[in-house]
Structure 1
Amino acid sequence: MSFRLKLGIGFSSVLLLMVLAGLISWWGMDSALSRQTMLYQLNSTLEDRFNKLVREEQAFANTEDLLHSRAVFQILARIRKPIHDVLTQPLEAVQQETVKNLLEALKDYEESFSAFITHDVDMRTMKSRMLQESKRLISNGSELSRAEADMAVLQHLMGEILIAEKNYLLSGSSEAATEVVETVRKLREKAEVARENFSDNELKLRAFRIATVADVYQEIFSNFIKEKEELQQAALRMEQALSRFTEKLAQYIARETAIAGKQVAILRLVSLCISLLAVGLGIFATIFLSGRITRPIEKLKHSAAQIVSGNLDTSVVISSRDEIGELGHIFNQMAGRLKESFTDIEQYRDHLEELVRERTLALEKENFGRREVEAALRASEENLSLIIEESPMGIILWGMDFQVTRWNQAAERIFGYPAAEAMGRQVAFIVPPQAQAHVETVWQQLITQKEDGSRSRNENITSKGDTILCDWYNTPLVDASGENIGVLSLVEDVTTLVRTEQELLKVKKIESTGVLAGGIAHDFNNILTAILGNINLSLMDQELTPRTRALLKAAEKASVRAQTLTQQLLTFAKGGDPVKEATDLGQVIMDSANFILHGSSIACSYAIPDDLWYVTADKGQISQVIQNIVLNAVQAMPGGGQLSISCTNIEPGTDEFVEDSADQRFVRIDIADSGGGIPVELMEKIFDPYFSNKPQGSGLGLAITLSIINKHHGRIGVHSAPGGGAVFSVYLPASEVTEATPVTAGTDSQVPGKKARILIMDDEQMVLDVLATMLQAVGHEVLISRDGDTCIHLYEENLQSATPIDLIIMDLTIPGGKGGKETVQEILQRDRQARVIVSSGYSNDPVMAHYAEYGFCGAVSKPFCLDELSSVINTVLARQESV
């Protein structure tokens, strides 16, 4: 075998091994890169759609809009498609099982989300039915009379049911639910007892209806609680299914990544083995051939040195007949062809440069692919950053030292700090001192319980120093190794929401107490009518001693003063609706304040603009509001002080206290005193009925004020600081009217009286007795009826007689029977010329203010004196004769 052949075989073997190593590396690298590319595309697609899925799910949970649930199912279908596409590729059994498990986890989440929607719709339906039944229960109770003790108990229990139901809907606690069920049970039992005690069939029927509605309400409420529990369980199953899907997806990505890494490791091992084999073969060939080459090479070296020295005529003698011998022969020819060899060397150099360029292009392609991957990663990070910045909720990332590492735009809006100022600061800059211990406890729980989040509500401080109330949703952040690296917080400002809930609670308190106050005022007016009437009749006795007459006069004055108290109770009661008219507030405010301040040591200043808008209001009730607030200020400054009253026109959207009424104009009245201020712990109680921190206070002044403002669809707020006085701000809706309602002249009461035949209707026997005696004392003939049906029957009997009834005086409210409003219509159907005067203990009832619109000829409010009653009777009779 020739040396050339041996050398060729050796080098060919090495070259073959190198080529094989390159092919294997190229094939393995292509497979690994393809798998990694597939994994990246799948992971990017699923991440984008998974984020959209979570947003739509949260949107549905917050708004309960079914459009979001439909969007969730569409996104689930889009997530399922790329996973199904993976199954179409050739996979190992283990990989196929992993993908199938991933699809099953996705299906479980879809089924649990569908169940969650079903239970949510069912719960809302049950809640609607529950509210309808509670309204129905209160509707049945609102028609009941408080004359019977059992009825008063039933009304009280129905009020408790309404309060307990609102408490449960606001808090959702099991204690509130138990309170509702227990109160309904008591109502049902009391209704059954009342049904047995009542002798009147209509009362029995109403008690039976209340018991029946209570049973239905209890059943619906129990179903609502059960449905709510099932909804919570469905939400938990949905969260667990989502977690399982996320876990399966992570397992699939991890498995595929591991397979790709395994392929790369095998590729490296094969390349290393082939490279080592090539190196070993090269060493063997070198050692074997070195002996055969060295001696002839020494000769060639000597001859080459001669050539280098410039002796191109040198020659070498080699006796071997193989390639070495031929090499010696060729070497001898080399001197003659040396110049030609230079050209061959240059060509060989150019060939090497071409190979270098090709390799450089290959490396540049590889770097370009790597840059594309890095660009995709940067785009994913930018998308995540955009989501955080555009989130409607505040998103804050905290480091392990509880310092801010991320602060989005919503957090800037909530707290007022720009991101540049908030970054790196400790949590204390937004937490008041009294809440820092609570926040520290929450933080310790988060960093020690890595898998559990927390929700809390606490006060925070804005950059302006204002205190706001925020809901916090906190979740610990862990890295791939399971180590805690910080906390993610979602924050929402709920100050306005909580303030609205507190205002609603105040309104409910006022309404509940108002029902009681109205009944007391009505009954008290009936009693005062009897007392004042008997006093009037007693004063007509000419044989009274001066001392007795003086005592009766004092009793009469005391009865008139008691009437003022009932007027306040009626204003506070549900029946005390304002009689509104276009009103210029300026004069009303000054007259009311001067009345209270008369004789005091308090200086008062007014700032009322000439162009102050008119309001549609009850002048008497607004005057009572001003008097109550001014009196409260006077009591806060026992040693004297300064009171300032100002009025301002408020355009829509220019005052944050009424910013929710975007299209309504308001007139604001500010009443500021220089007293000691209101303690912080009492601010939430000052409008509660019967609450007062003053020994001489009744606790009704501000409660009545709030009731009046609510009935005028206005607002009232108070600002105070210890030692800095208090400012009450009253907002009344502005009227489109530009001038006050004209006051019509009253009818002359000094009309000569005439004797008449008068029919009186009232459910109170003592009122009937004293009214009959008063009328008979001035010469009238009197007929008596206790309800509307009897009144209609008596009027019909006397209608065609020789002595028909000249006038009817009827009570507006007859518990358990027809009242004046219904009876007068039936009387007028029988006789269009009938003259009817309405009388009521509810002096603020709209019927009393606009009696002519309901068919009455006049009105007299209880309690009344004989002169007042005679004046109304004479006026009505005289008006009829003049027609």
Structure 2
Amino acid sequence: MQLIKNSSIKYKLILAIMSTVVVSLLLVGSAVIVSERYLSKKSMTEQLMTVSRILADRSTAALSFDDQKAATEILSALDQTSTVILACIYDRSQSLFARYAGDRLQICPEIPQTDGHQFLDRYFELYQSVILEGDLIGTVYLRATLRELDKRLISFIILVMSIVLLAGIVSYLMANKQQATISKPILELADIARQISARSDYSVRAPRGADDEMGALNRAFNNMLEQIRKREVARDTANQALEEKENNLAITLDSIADAVITTDAEGCITRMNPVAEQLTGWSFEDARGNTLKTIFQIIHATTHKPIENPIQKVMATGETVYLSNHTTLISRDGTEYQIADSAAPIRNEDSRVIGMVLVFNDITEQYQLRQAAAKNERDMTAVMDNTPAVIHIKDTDGRFVFINQRFETLFHVKHEDIIGQTPQDVFPENIADEMQRDDIKVLDAAHALESEELIPHDDGLHSYFSIKFPLFDEQDHVYAICCISTDVTERKKQEEQLRRSQKMDALGKLTGGVAHDYNNILGIVLGYAEQLSEYLSGDPRLEKYVNDIHHAALRGARLTKKLLAFSRNKSPDAEVLDINALLSEQQFMLEKTLTARIKLVFDLEDDLWPVYLDAGDLEDSIINISINAMHAMQGAGELTIRTRNERLNELDARQLNMAAGNYVLISITDTGCGMDETTRDKIFDPFYSTKGDEGTGLGLSQVFGFIERSGGVIKVYTEPGQGSRFNLYFPYSHHSVTAVQMPTKGAVLNLQGSETLLVVDDEQAMAELACEILTARGYRVFAANDGEQALAVLRKENIDLIISDVIMPNLDGYQLASRVQQLYPHIKIQMTSGFADSRHSSMKDHTLHQNMLYKPYTSKKLLEHVRNLLDKDRVKTDLIGRTILVVDDEEDFQELFRLSLERLGCRTTLSGNGEEAIAFYRQSLESNEPFDAVILDLNFPGGISGQEIADAIRVMDPHARIIVASGHTEGPEMTSYQDYGFSGALEKNFVQETLKQVLEQVLSPD
């Protein structure tokens, strides 16, 4: 349709004529075709109805006499008819009687219908009744093809279309000839109009034409062209003058360095100069007609909130508007410019506001410089106010001109109060004079100088490291002095503590090394002295000599132990302690040590937390501090020992140079002479003593080493004439003191043996001594001087246990142990050492470290370690076959107890509640096979309690041995199990060895 719409009038006329002719012929042809089709069907129907009647008449005899052959012959006459493709005769019972098929694929209907006919898609069907004397004796069925009718229809359609095509061609030729009369004048006028539009030549004229409508149109068109030509001449003259003015104005605006934008009364852009285009990001072509608000988007430089566009105020008031210096222009691409601008109204000759002119310029660089300067000032003020250093500035006359907030806080002054004051107005005279002398030195030197100053604080004098430097003006003249002071009091304390620790560490390494070699020598002396004592039982004089040697060696061993403790490489004897219990045990000894003139006062907190410490080291430390306190008290005095649970938060811990957490505090306070600061700072230094020749200077050094080794902290508070207080902080231990108290005495251990042992020691005498001790007890012993030799022996001999020194050449004891555990995992290992160095704590096998045998050792100690290690994991015969009743409501613990007890050789009965457990125990008594022991949980939700179960069992059997088992390790039933009638207590987080020990304790004969 669009193509037809855009076609010329010539083709529209031709198309209209042709369409009329063709459509008319198509309608007539369609009517002819429909009529012919109808007549053909009617003719075919009449013809076939005639044939069917003839067939019905002729077949009456055949149907009457049931002569199918005659009927078939009658139907065969249809061969002369090309349209009939199927004929069927049915008898009176509607059964097929005779059939004719012009097409073999045709099939007669099963049941004939009543008289009638119908046209289907491809066939014509007809039913005709056969009547004889009014009686229906059969039915004739005909089926004819419609091919002849379809061929006739197609022929008619082809004929009609041929006629239509021929008529269309003829109509086109005639229309093309006749349309020129109408379309030619119109096309000529249209062509003239296009020429005028293309060339703007209004001198062209259309031909006059005839006196009809087209002629009148041409004359009117020519008159219009003349009017347009006159107006064009006038307009060109005016435009030329206006263009000259515009050019002059454009040159003027483009020459201005500021951005200029003009608008009309509605605020739409009418002009922009290049500077305005650059700053706004809009070209004049894109901006023309847009509102000023669209292209001139301004916000406040600080708040970034939109600023009211000046055009509203200018148009409303008619006054010039100036914007503030904090105006930011957002250009089209998002670039921000800081601008200064003004907007003024544009008035016509009647003084009416018809627009606005906006003039602005880019002041971004100047604005950024001002902002940077302001930011630098704010940043510098923030830095100085938030730095931990004390900062102040004084002029050359010594008056304060600036102080930071740290200065105000520390010295309790306000900025406005101190400005203009001198140090003499703020600080003590001696400190102020020292400050003034330092200031004069800086002024004279004209460069930075460093110094240390003592400044009074609320808690006393603090040491400050100060750097002072001059400030110069543009003429390089000093106009002020700046001082930055850092409090180094704590740093100096930490440096002193580090120096002390390093000194202790260096001295410890020296003493530790000496102790290691000394232990080997003592081991040889002690061992052979014991061997000699066995052979000199008949000579008292020689026995005395040997005993003297033995005691001297033991004294040397004790000295070595002190050296190792001093070096912080002492053997690990730490355990979970109740400090209150330890102090109570030591109270009598402390009172005797302090003598009667010193009153000992204990102030012990109830429920003191447990700690993990070496009890012996703690005892030594308390005695050491107490003896020093006694010496500091001339005449009568008082020594107070307090214990407290302390929860230190971050602030409290930071003041003590400790980590925040829970600690147990031991505070030892005396009423002695006290110490000055110099003495207090040196008391932990090795060999420092205030007792002259009477003191060694090692006592408090050992205390310091022990506390540091234990992860604790020691603080000393003292004043001359006011006494001293030593505060010892130890970390709280999450473990509790074991509830099962194992007997310290039992059956004498059989130290004899027949196993094969390997002694590995680079000290030949120590190796020979160990071999002699072990051989005398029946062991088969081999010796090696280092790890490589030991591995060679292991490849040849079947060894049960290795006794190896730690420090050896080639392959040391730890490396040997690692190789043995990989190659011979069944062999047990006993490590020995004369120096418990730092490698002990890093051993992968914690068991070897815990079972370390330290030199010098006695023969008995060696034999006990060997025998215990060989007997480890062997079940004692007194546990084999024992019957144990386990009562616990948790199936997991029942299974754990069962497995552990079966590995120990015990027979187990499990019960999940009290009623069942009581019934089991009653049955065992009735069968005269009572349980040897009962392991009983305390808590049974919804049932009788563990205590009630125990009471019921004891009623039946007063001699029942009941072990309480609980996860509440601090409950009274666990810590004081005897008071509740239990024979023992077992923590539920047990290992098999702990279970074994508890059973052995409970089942041992009284």
TM score, norm. by length of structure 2: 0.45
Q: Which amino acid aligns with 1:834?
A: I
Q: Which amino acid aligns with 2:580?
A: G
**3-state DSSP of counterpart to 2:794:** helix
Aligned-residue identity in percent:
23
Contact 1:836 1:857 in 2 (8 A): no
Q: Distance in 2 between matches of 1:624 and 1:844?
A: 22
Aligned residues: 511
The reply to whether residue 784 of structure 1 matches residue 806 of structure 2 is: no
Of residues 632, 635, 648 in structure 1, which corresponds to 2:628?
A: 632
What residue is the counterpart of 2:716 in the other structure? Answer: 718
Q: Could you say if the C-alpha distance between residues 48 and 809 of structure 1 is closer, same or farther in structure 2, counting changes exceeding 3 Å?
A: same
Q: Distance in 2 between matches of 1:785 and 1:709?
A: 40
Q: Could you say if the C-alpha distance between residues 844 and 581 of structure 1 is closer, same or farther in structure 2, counting changes exceeding 3 Å?
A: farther
What residue is the counterpart of 1:49 in the other structure? Answer: 372
The reply to whether residue 608 of structure 1 matches residue 604 of structure 2 is: yes
Q: Which amino acid aligns with 1:523?
A: D
Of residues 731, 734, 754 in structure 1, which corresponds to 2:732?
A: 734
Flag the structure with higher helix content: 1
What residue is the counterpart of 1:410 in the other structure? Answer: 406
Q: Which amino acid aligns with 2:817?
A: V
Contact 2:715 2:727 in 1 (8 A): yes
Contact 2:388 2:406 in 1 (8 A): yes
* Aligned positions of 1:127-146 closer than 5 A: none
What residue is the counterpart of 2:861 in the other structure? Answer: 868
The reply to whether residue 796 of structure 1 matches residue 790 of structure 2 is: no
Q: Distance in 2 between matches of 1:838 and 1:521?
A: 18
**3-state DSSP of counterpart to 1:842:** coil
Q: Which amino acid aligns with 1:820?
A: G
Contact 2:500 2:684 in 1 (8 A): yes
What residue is the counterpart of 1:488 in the other structure? Answer: 482
Contact 1:593 1:630 in 2 (8 A): no
What residue is the counterpart of 1:623 in the other structure? Answer: 619
The CA deviation at 1:586 is 1.9
Q: Which amino acid aligns with 2:534?
A: M
Q: Could you say if the C-alpha distance between residues 51 and 387 of structure 1 is closer, same or farther in structure 2, counting changes exceeding 3 Å?
A: farther
Flag the structure with higher strand content: 2
**3-state DSSP of counterpart to 2:594:** coil
What residue is the counterpart of 2:391 in the other structure? Answer: 395
The CA deviation at 1:554 is 3.6
Q: Which amino acid aligns with 2:721?
A: G
**3-state DSSP of counterpart to 1:838:** strand
Q: Could you say if the C-alpha distance between residues 575 and 423 of structure 1 is closer, same or farther in structure 2, counting changes exceeding 3 Å?
A: same
Contact 2:527 2:769 in 1 (8 A): yes
The CA deviation at 1:715 is 1.7
The CA deviation at 1:466 is 1.0
Q: Which amino acid aligns with 1:670?
A: S
Q: Distance in 1 between matches of 2:425 and 2:683?
A: 32
Contact 2:668 2:725 in 1 (8 A): yes
Contact 1:528 1:559 in 2 (8 A): yes
Of residues 431, 451, 460 in structure 2, which corresponds to 1:456?
A: 451
Kindly provide the CA deviation profile for residues 387-412 of structure 1, in whole angstroms up to 9, marking residues without a partner as x. 76566532324466646554432113
**3-state DSSP of counterpart to 1:598:** helix
The CA deviation at 1:445 is 0.8
* Aligned positions of 1:240-279 closer than 5 A: none
**What is the alpha-carbon root mean square deviation over aligned residues?**
4.1
Tell which has more relative contact order, 1 or 2 (C-alpha 8 A, sep 6+): 1
Kindly provide the CA deviation profile for residues 205-256 of structure 1, in whole angstroms up to 9, marking residues without a partner as x. xxxxxxxxxxxxxxxxxxxxxxxxxxxxxxxxxxxxxxxxxxxxxxxxxxxx
The CA deviation at 1:788 is 1.6
Contact 1:411 1:491 in 2 (8 A): no
Q: Which amino acid aligns with 1:735?
A: S
Q: Distance in 2 between matches of 1:676 and 1:645?
A: 18
Q: Could you say if the C-alpha distance between residues 855 and 713 of structure 1 is closer, same or farther in structure 2, counting changes exceeding 3 Å?
A: closer
The reply to whether residue 508 of structure 1 matches residue 502 of structure 2 is: yes
Q: Could you say if the C-alpha distance between residues 843 and 777 of structure 1 is closer, same or farther in structure 2, counting changes exceeding 3 Å?
A: farther
**Structure label with greater radius of gyration:** 2
Q: Distance in 2 between matches of 1:388 and 1:511?
A: 41
The CA deviation at 1:786 is 0.9
Q: Could you say if the C-alpha distance between residues 591 and 385 of structure 1 is closer, same or farther in structure 2, counting changes exceeding 3 Å?
A: same
The reply to whether residue 518 of structure 1 matches residue 530 of structure 2 is: no
The reply to whether residue 826 of structure 1 matches residue 819 of structure 2 is: yes
The CA deviation at 1:649 is 2.6
What residue is the counterpart of 2:681 in the other structure? Answer: 684
Contact 1:393 1:491 in 2 (8 A): yes
Of residues 577, 593, 617 in structure 2, which corresponds to 1:583?
A: 577
* Aligned positions of 1:644-793 closer than 5 A: 644-651=640-647, 652-653=649-650, 655=652, 661=658, 663-694=660-691, 695-737=693-735, 750-756=748-754, 757-793=756-792
Stretches of structure 2 that go unaligned for 5 or more consecutive residues are 1-360, 877-1006
The CA deviation at 1:529 is 0.7
Q: Which amino acid aligns with 1:811?
A: S
Contact 1:579 1:849 in 2 (8 A): no
Kindly provide the CA deviation profile for residues 524-576 of structure 1, in whole angstroms up to 9, marking residues without a partner as x. 21111112112212222335643443343244233223323222322333544
The CA deviation at 1:426 is 5.3
Q: Could you say if the C-alpha distance between residues 572 and 630 of structure 1 is closer, same or farther in structure 2, counting changes exceeding 3 Å?
A: same
Q: Could you say if the C-alpha distance between residues 422 and 641 of structure 1 is closer, same or farther in structure 2, counting changes exceeding 3 Å?
A: farther
The CA deviation at 1:816 is 2.4
Q: Distance in 2 between matches of 1:665 and 1:769?
A: 51
Q: Distance in 2 between matches of 1:811 and 1:437?
A: 71
Contact 2:687 2:696 in 1 (8 A): yes
Q: Distance in 1 between matches of 2:626 and 2:866?
A: 39
Kindly provide the CA deviation profile for residues 475-526 of structure 1, in whole angstroms up to 9, marking residues without a partner as x. 3457788776653322222222332333233322222222222222211211
* Aligned positions of 1:261-410 closer than 5 A: 392-398=388-394, 402=398, 404=400, 406-410=402-406
**3-state DSSP of counterpart to 1:683:** helix
Q: Distance in 2 between matches of 1:568 and 1:467?
A: 39
Q: Which amino acid aligns with 1:684?
A: D
Contact 1:809 1:839 in 2 (8 A): no
Q: Distance in 1 between matches of 2:467 and 2:451?
A: 7
TM score, norm. by length of structure 1: 0.51
Contact 2:536 2:543 in 1 (8 A): no
The CA deviation at 1:46 is 4.3
Using the TM superposition, name which of 500-509 and 415-424 deviates more: 415-424
Q: Could you say if the C-alpha distance between residues 828 and 708 of structure 1 is closer, same or farther in structure 2, counting changes exceeding 3 Å?
A: same
What residue is the counterpart of 1:564 in the other structure? Answer: 558
Using the TM superposition, name which of 648-657 and 671-680 deviates more: 648-657
Q: Distance in 1 between matches of 2:736 and 2:849?
A: 31
What residue is the counterpart of 2:547 in the other structure? Answer: 553
**3-state DSSP of counterpart to 2:681:** coil
Q: Could you say if the C-alpha distance between residues 385 and 540 of structure 1 is closer, same or farther in structure 2, counting changes exceeding 3 Å?
A: closer
What residue is the counterpart of 1:363 in the other structure? Answer: none
Contact 1:576 1:845 in 2 (8 A): no
Q: Could you say if the C-alpha distance between residues 826 and 857 of structure 1 is closer, same or farther in structure 2, counting changes exceeding 3 Å?
A: farther
The CA deviation at 1:429 is 8.0
Contact 1:637 1:676 in 2 (8 A): yes
Q: Distance in 2 between matches of 1:714 and 1:856?
A: 23
